[in-house]
């Protein structure tokens, strides 16, 4: 691979990283301040980096499994840190691929963006990315929260929507 790629928009509600990360002076995961020596693009396959939270690590390994099933040799470097570390690592060649949320990355790179629709965010991301990085098409999934109760609890308290919880203020514990 000659250019670094960013798996932006894995989820429709995701965002893009901001380049303030580069101002930190971190340009290599090796800590030497120089870019490019950390095992990214090479004849050895694709190196996928992940952020320091479980969901992103799972996505990194998921992408690795899909790529390997297609015959692409991969290496996952999990738990590398925040965007302030990941974006320079991607630019510097320490990693080749980064699973990312379209909306979050966009907000990181361009906090004033008002894009909310998937296509708008994809276009804004493409323009906001640092030179040398490319956003791939976003996945048709969404990162959202869900509240779950047992059927017995729903029946007991008359719950069929999140709004119904308001009527039970103080009677239920969310865990």
Residue 59 domain-assigned? Answer: yes
Which of 173, 100, 106, 83 has its CA nearest to residue 143?
Answer: 100
The predicted pLDDT at position 126 comes to 93
Residues 27 and 102 in one domain: yes
Residue 45 domain-assigned? Answer: yes
Residues 10 and 84 in one domain: yes
Summarised one tens digit per residue, pLDDT across range 81-111 is 999 999 999 999 999 999 999 999 999 999 9
CATH code at position 105? 3.40.190.10
Q: With H, G, I as helix, E, B as strand and everything else as coil, classify residue 45.
A: strand
Summarised one tens digit per residue, pLDDT across range 111-156 is 999 999 999 999 999 999 999 999 999 887 777 788 899 999 999 9
What is the rounded (10 degree) CA torsion for 90, 96, 102, 108? 0
Residue 21 above 70 pLDDT? no
Residue 80 domain-assigned? Answer: yes
What is the rounded (10 degree) CA torsion for 16, 22, 23, 25? 150
Residue 25 above 50 pLDDT? no
Residues 46 and 123 in one domain: yes
Range of the domain at 159: 145-175
How many domains does the chain divide into? Answer: 2
User: Over the chain, what is the mean pLDDT?
Assistant: 80
Residues 10 and 96 in one domain: yes
Residues 83 and 169 in one domain: no
d(CA 117, CA 124): 10
The predicted pLDDT at position 9 comes to 42
The predicted pLDDT at position 91 comes to 93
| Range of lowest pLDDT (21-30, 45-54, 164-173) | 21-30
Residue 15 above 50 pLDDT? no
The predicted pLDDT at position 173 comes to 86
Residue 140 domain-assigned? Answer: no
Residues 81 and 99 in one domain: yes
In this structure, the number of other CB atoms found within 10 A of the CB of residue 79 comes to: 14
Residue 122 domain-assigned? Answer: yes
Residues 130 and 169 in one domain: no
Residue 2 above 60 pLDDT? no
d(CA 93, CA 42): 9
Residues 44 and 77 in one domain: yes
d(CA 11, CA 31): 31
Residues 162 and 120 in one domain: no
The predicted pLDDT at position 18 comes to 28
Question: Is the pTM for the entire model greater than 0.85?
Answer: no
Residues 119 and 149 in one domain: no
Residues 81 and 167 in one domain: no
d(CA 32, CA 105): 26
């Amino acid at each position: 691979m000659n250019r670094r790629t960013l798996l932006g928009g894995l989820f429709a509600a995701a965002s893009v990283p901001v380049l303030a990360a580069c101002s930190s002076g971190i340009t290599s995961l090796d800590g030497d301040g120089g870019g490019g020596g950390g095992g990214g693009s090479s004849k050895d396959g694709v190196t996928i980096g992940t952020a320091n939270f479980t969901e992103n690590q799972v996505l990194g390994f998921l992408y690795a499994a899909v790529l390997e099933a297609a015959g692409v040799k991969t290496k996952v470097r999990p738990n590398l840190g925040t965007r302030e570390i990941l974006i320079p690592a991607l630019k510097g060649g320490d990693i080749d691929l980064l699973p990312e949320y379209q909306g979050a990355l966009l907000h990181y790179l361009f906090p004033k963006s008002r894009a909310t629709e998937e296509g708008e965010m994809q276009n804004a991301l493409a323009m906001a990315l640092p030179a040398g990085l490319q956003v791939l098409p976003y996945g048709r999934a969404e990162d959202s929260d869900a509240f779950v109760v047992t059927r017995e609890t729903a029946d007991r308290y008359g719950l069929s929507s999140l709004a119904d919880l308001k009527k039970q203020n103080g009677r239920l514990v969310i865990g």
